[in-house]
Structure 1
Amino acid sequence: MTDAAQDPDELGAAFDRLLEDYVRHLTLRRNLSEHTIRAYRGDIATLLRHLERLGHSSLDDVDVRAVRSWLAKQQTLGQARTTLQRRAAAARVFLSWAHETQRASHDPGASLRSPKAARRLPPTLEQSDADAMLTRAIAAVEDGGGAVAERDVAILELLYATGIRVSELCGLNLSDVDQERRVIRVLGKGNKERTVPLGAPALRALTGWLDGGRGELADAGSGAAVFVGERGRRIDPRVVRRVVHRALGLVEGAPDLGPHGLRHAMATHLLEGGADLRSVQELLGHASLATTQIYTHVSNERLRRAFEQAHPRA
Structure 2
Amino acid sequence: MPRDVSSVLHRVFRELEGPAVEAVKSFLDFLRSQRALSPATVRSYGADLAQWLLFLKDLLGRSRLEMDDLSEASLRRFVFHRHPRLAKSSQARALATYRSFFRFLMERHGLERNPARSLRSPKATVTVPAFLDVDDMSAFLDTLQRRALAPSAPWIAVRDWALFETLYSTGLRVGELVRLNHAHIDMHEGMVRTVGKGAKERIVPIGSKALEAIGCYLSAFRNQWQGPYNQEALFLNARGGRLSDRSVRRLLTERLREAGQWRPLSPHGIRHSFATHLLGSGADLRSIQEMLGHAGLSTTQRYTKVDLDRLMSVYDAAHPRSRKEGP
**TM-score, normalised by the number of residues in structure 2:** 0.83
| Whole-angstrom CA distance in 2 between matches of 1:59 and 1:115 | 27
The CA deviation at 1:133 is 0.5
Which residue is equivalent to 1:18? 23
Tell me how many residue pairs correspond in the alignment: 305
Q: Deviations over 1:234-281 (max 9, x none)?
A: 222233223322222134455221211111100000001110001111
| Whole-angstrom CA distance in 2 between matches of 1:139 and 1:27 | 44
| Whole-angstrom CA distance in 2 between matches of 1:235 and 1:216 | 18
- Among candidates 84, 103, 106, match of residue 99 of structure 1: 106
Which residue is equivalent to 1:160? 168
| Whole-angstrom CA distance in 2 between matches of 1:215 and 1:96 | 55
- Among candidates 115, 137, 141, match of residue 144 of structure 2: 137
Q: Deviations over 1:68-123 (max 9, x none)?
A: 443232233x2111111001100100010011112523222334432112111211
Q: Is the contact made by 1:99 and 1:106 (CA closer than 8 Å) also made in structure 2?
A: yes
| Whole-angstrom CA distance in 1 between matches of 2:238 and 2:159 | 10
| Whole-angstrom CA distance in 2 between matches of 1:109 and 1:305 | 44
**TM-score, normalised by the number of residues in structure 1:** 0.86
- Among candidates 20, 31, 42, match of residue 37 of structure 1: 42
SS of the residue 1:101 aligns to = helix
The CA deviation at 1:308 is 4.9
- Among candidates 55, 58, 61, match of residue 67 of structure 2: 58
Q: Is the contact made by 2:88 and 2:124 (CA closer than 8 Å) also made in structure 1?
A: yes
Letter in structure 2 aligned against 1:256: P
| Whole-angstrom CA distance in 2 between matches of 1:160 and 1:195 | 15
SS of the residue 2:19 aligns to = helix
The CA deviation at 1:310 is 5.5
Q: Deviations over 1:28-83 (max 9, x none)?
A: 333333332222122123334556748994349834x654443232233x211111
| Whole-angstrom CA distance in 2 between matches of 1:107 and 1:307 | 51
Q: Is 1:286 aligned to residue 287 of structure 2? A: no
Q: Is 1:47 aligned to residue 56 of structure 2? A: no
More displaced 10-residue stretch of structure 1: 252-261 or 144-153? 252-261
Which residue is equivalent to 1:313? 323
Which residue is equivalent to 2:265? 257
Q: Is the contact made by 1:161 and 1:199 (CA closer than 8 Å) also made in structure 2?
A: yes
- Equivalent residue runs for 1:1-314 within 5 Å: 11=16, 13-50=18-55, 53=59, 57-59=66-68, 62-63=71-72, 67-76=75-84, 78-144=85-151, 145-217=153-225, 219-253=227-261, 255-308=263-316, 313-314=323-324
| Whole-angstrom CA distance in 1 between matches of 2:67 and 2:239 | 51
Could you say what the CA RMSD is over the residues aligned between the two structures, in angstroms? 2.7
More displaced 10-residue stretch of structure 1: 288-297 or 43-52? 43-52
SS of the residue 2:242 aligns to = coil
Q: Deviations over 1:165-208 (max 9, x none)?
A: 11111111111111111111112122211111111211111122
SS of the residue 1:143 aligns to = coil
Percent identity of equivalent pairs? 37
SS of the residue 1:186 aligns to = strand
Q: Deviations over 1:113-149 (max 9, x none)?
A: 3211211121110111111111111111232223112
| Whole-angstrom CA distance in 2 between matches of 1:121 and 1:218 | 44
Q: Is the contact made by 2:20 and 2:70 (CA closer than 8 Å) also made in structure 1?
A: no
The CA deviation at 1:24 is 2.8
Letter in structure 2 aligned against 1:290: S
More displaced 10-residue stretch of structure 1: 53-62 or 254-263? 53-62
Which residue is equivalent to 2:6? none
Unaligned runs of 5+ in 1: 1-6
CA 1:70–1:307 in 2, change beyond 3 Å: closer, same or farther? farther
Letter in structure 1 aligned against 2:71: V
More displaced 10-residue stretch of structure 1: 220-229 or 195-204? 220-229
Letter in structure 2 aligned against 1:98: L
SS of the residue 2:109 aligns to = coil
